[in-house]
Amino acid sequence: MFARRSAGLVGALTLALALTACGSSSDSGTADTSGKENGTRVFTADNGKVTIPADPQRVVATGYAVPTLIEAGAPLVGISSWQRGEALMSDEDLATYKKLTKVAGESAAETNYEAIAEAEPDLIVLGVPTPVLGDIDMERLKSIAPVVAVGPTVPSQWREVSRKHADAAGVLDDYDEVKGEYEAKAAELKKKYQAVLPQLKLGHVGSYGDTSKGTFQREFGGSWGTSVAQDIGAVYYGKVKKAGPGSQSVSEYPSIEELSDSLGEADAITYSVDPDGGVPESVQYVMDSKLWKNLPAVKKGMAFPIAYTEAATYGDALKTLDAIDTSFAPLLDR
């Protein structure tokens, strides 16, 4: 439910990621199955313990739940818009996404309750952070169907959050299949780069910088542009100077004049690019700076683009791994 690279939405996104999403009632992330003999089970979500169908047949999904449940083949009857993830979807998933009835827009405030009611769901899965729930009439939704709300606290938490979405919708088998593919690919690449990657101190320039304010985004471990690379052994050094809640704990927005102080110690720098390889305006702003050109890592040709940094599912992240592999390949020749 968040638009990418819109400077006006950065503050809202940061606020939205401020609170901690609750897990489900067991250590594995699955719901309590007591009551399953009655065709229901109890699921612990951000909005408390919710009695949901044990085998949902008509699911409405919003926010982060949209790409996960499309990918896992959930029985969806309505979704919110998820424009930020369209470029990451497979052709088949994109076709499904376009075909499904849109019952909400890009923000929680754009929820169409009449459209949700007309879809006659037996389960509603809200993939939005807890603070955003204030923009939703939960009582109205609960009058339509049981509501499970599970959202991320930091960008890298898409892994845990997506599993809970799949669990609630009853599609863990398909979900785990794709998860297994990702983990196998990540392990393969970790072995491939084990002699060179872990020894490097990396920094990352993200695409949430605000050029109008003369700032850039420095991302640390666990952020949008770094977490998948970390799965193959990348080490992002440093930490946020003044850590705040949510995403403020894994990224910061220094002025462009602070570029040398921020990334001067990096052995290598990665930076976010669009799925087609294009450089976002906020990143190009950094690369056009004389300070960028004088960074030791840049002078040594150790700056690497990473596409698909908006991954929110394991299927998405497989594309991120491929993009990272292509970008890091020159490291093996050094």
Q: Per-residue pLDDT tens for 41-63?
A: 999 999 999 999 999 999 999 99
**CATH entry, 7-170, from 3.30.70.360, 3.40.1670.10, 3.20.20.70, 3.40.50.1980:** 3.40.50.1980
Give the range among 35-44, 104-113, 145-154, 262-271 with minimum mean pLDDT.
Answer: 35-44
Q: Would you state the pLDDT for residue 108?
A: 86
Please tell me the distance from the alpha carbon of residue 227 to that of residue 102, in angstroms, as a whole number.
30
Report the DSSP beta bridge partners of residue 51: 42
pLDDT at 36: 52
What top-level class would CATH report for the domain 181-333?
Answer: alpha beta
Position 222 scores a pLDDT of: 96
Cα 165 versus chain centre, distance: 13
Q: What value does the mean pLDDT take over residues 53-75?
A: 98
Delimit the domains of the chain by residue range: 7-170, 181-333
Query: Residue 114: how many CB atoms within 10 A of its CB?
Result: 8
pLDDT (tens digit per residue) in 259-271:
999 999 999 999 9
Is the per-residue pLDDT at 272 higher than 60?
Answer: yes
On the question of a common fold for 7-170 and 181-333, the answer reads yes
- Average pLDDT estimate for 305-313: 96
**Residues in contact with 138: Cβ distance below 8 Å, sequence separation at least 6, in sequence order:** 47, 147
Cβ distance 46 to 151 under 8 Å?
Answer: yes
- Stretch among 9-18, 50-59, 88-97 having the lowest mean pLDDT: 9-18
Q: Which residues pair with 50 in a beta bridge?
A: 43
Give the pLDDT confidence score for residue 3 in this predicted structure: 36
**Res 37: pLDDT:** 54
Q: Are 72 and 64 in contact (CB under 8 A)?
A: no
| Inter-CA distances, 12 with 18, 126, 232, 320, 334, Å | 10, 18, 31, 25, 42
| Secondary structure letter of residue 111 according to DSSP | B
Q: Does residue 8 register a pLDDT over 50?
A: no
In degrees, rounded to 5, the angle at the alpha carbon of residue 187 between the alpha carbons of residues 301 and 65 is 95
* Angle formed at CA 240 by CA 236 and CA 246, multiple of 5 degrees: 100
Look at residue 29 and tell me whether its pLDDT is greater than 70: no
Looking at per-residue pLDDT, the higher value among 248 and 239 belongs to: 239
Pairing of strands 251-252, 268-272: unpaired
Q: Which two tokens stand for residue 144?
A: 């339509």
Who contacts 167 (Cβ-Cβ below 8 Å, separation ≥6)? Answer: 24, 29, 30, 31, 43
DSSP for 262-320 reads HHTT-SEEEEE--TTSPPPHHHHHHHTSHHHHTSHHHHTT-EEEE--TT--SHHHHHHH
Q: Does the pTM of the predicted model rise above 0.85?
A: yes
Residue 17 has pLDDT above 70, yes or no: no
9 vs 172, higher pLDDT: 172
Q: Decide: 208 and 251 in contact? Cβ < 8 Å.
A: yes
What's residue 248's pLDDT?
Answer: 84
- Taking all residues of the chain, what is their mean pLDDT, rounded to a whole number? 90
State the greatest distance between any 2 C-alpha atoms of the chain, in Å, as a whole number: 67
Buried b (16+ CB within 10 A) or exposed e, 164-175: bbbbbbbbbeeb
- Is 218 in contact with 254 (CB distance < 8 Å)? yes
